[in-house]
Amino acid sequence: MVRDSGRVRGVYAISVAAELVGMGQQNLRLYERKGLLEPGRTVGGTRLYSEQDLATLRRISALLQDGLNLAGVRAVLELESANRHLEHKLAAARARRKR
């Protein structure tokens, strides 16, 4: 994983990412089309997946195994993201209050 101005940049090609998470490359492309993740791209357009993307793919797989469809997976991922954002805001507010 490489950091680029504070952001995590992808380092795995789609074939490697698919193998690491045990999915087909077509699934990764489908999840991107459905807006479930957004891998980085090279100047030439090649997808590059980060460790964070791999974690998201593993979460998608777990949710699908639990019986959710892709719309349900999207809803869960969005809610989890919103929850993390709120937890960070709460932690920051608590830290400011302790000063």
Q: What is the pLDDT of residue 63?
A: 98
Q: What is the pLDDT of residue 34?
A: 95
Q: What is the reported pTM?
A: 0.84
Q: CB burial class (10 A; 0-12, 13-18, 19+) of residue 50?
A: buried
Map out the domains of the chain with their CATH numbers: 2-98 (1.10.1660.10)
Q: CA-to-CA distance for 31 and 44, rounded, in angstroms? A: 21
pLDDT tens digit sequence for 30-57: 999 999 999 999 999 999 999 999 999 9
Q: What is the pLDDT of residue 3?
A: 46
Q: What is the pLDDT of residue 99?
A: 81
pLDDT tens digit sequence for 6-38: 456 789 999 999 999 999 999 999 999 999 999
Confidence of residue 98 (pLDDT cuts 50, 70, 90): confident
Q: CA-to-CA distance for 90 and 70, rounded, in angstroms? A: 30
Look at 9 and 63; give whichever has higher pLDDT. 63
Q: What is the pLDDT of residue 8?
A: 66
